[in-house]
């Protein structure tokens, strides 16, 4: 109901979680599905699969780029009339992030910050962060970076600048732990 005839954006659209979100979203008849993905092959693969599933001529826009790039994310959100963003862009593999902690933190935290800021600036209705159970009392860098991402989403949800003159929220920020 919340997806039908809406413009939906999925960041990390070619990843394991993002691609499954796209498969489920396209079945629910959005007006448009915007895919943001850094990995060219993953973006190509999910776009090809979605085009095969797309029996209702839903517009699909594939955007090859990095959610850590604030200018890039702001540009897409400024060009599109996005209703809902599913933020699934993250490094999620604990051993890989443990070996590359700085990149894990930068990717998971900065991308979340950029997406929240651009959503607020462009009056996006809803932002949903896909987090992880590893963010609960984290014992590794990946879990800690996702917990920090959750705190960013909570801060935007509670921000005074996220309210209109009537005190109502402009953008609904929420998260789910997967």
Q: Which residues are catalytic?
A: 134
DSSP label of 163? B
Instruction: Please tell me the distance from the alpha carbon of residue 86 to that of residue 40, in angstroms, as a whole number.
Output: 19
**Pairing between strand 126-131 and 84-87?**
parallel
Show Cβ contacts of residue 38 under 8 Å, excluding neighbours closer than 6 positions: 64, 65, 66, 67, 89
- Tell me, letter by letter, the H, E, C secondary structure of 60-120: EEEEECCCCCHHHHHHHHHHCCCCEEEECCCCCCHHHHHHCHHHHHHHHHHHHHHHHHHHH
Tokens of 113: 């910050």
């Amino acid at each position: 109901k919340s997806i039908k005839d809406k413009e939906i954006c999925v960041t990390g659209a070619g990843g394991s979680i993002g691609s499954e979100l796209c498969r489920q979203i396209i079945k629910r008849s959005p007006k448009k599905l915007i895919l943001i993905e850094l990995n060219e092959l993953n973006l190509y693969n999910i776009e090809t699969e979605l085009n095969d599933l797309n029996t209702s001529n839903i517009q699909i826009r594939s955007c090859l780029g990095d959610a850590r790039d604030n200018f890039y994310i702001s540009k897409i959100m400024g060009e599109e009339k996005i209703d809902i963003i599913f933020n699934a862009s993250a490094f999620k593999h604990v051993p890989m992030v443990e070996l590359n902690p700085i990149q894990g933190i930068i990717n998971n935290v900065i991308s979340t910050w950029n997406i929240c800021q651009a959503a607020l600036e462009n009056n996006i209705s809803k932002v949903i962060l896909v987090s992880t159970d590893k963010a609960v009392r984290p014992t590794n860098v990946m879990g800690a970076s996702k917990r920090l991402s959750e705190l960013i989403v909570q801060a935007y949800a509670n921000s005074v600048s996220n309210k209109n003159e009537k005190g109502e929220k402009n953008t609904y920020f929420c998260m789910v732990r997967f």
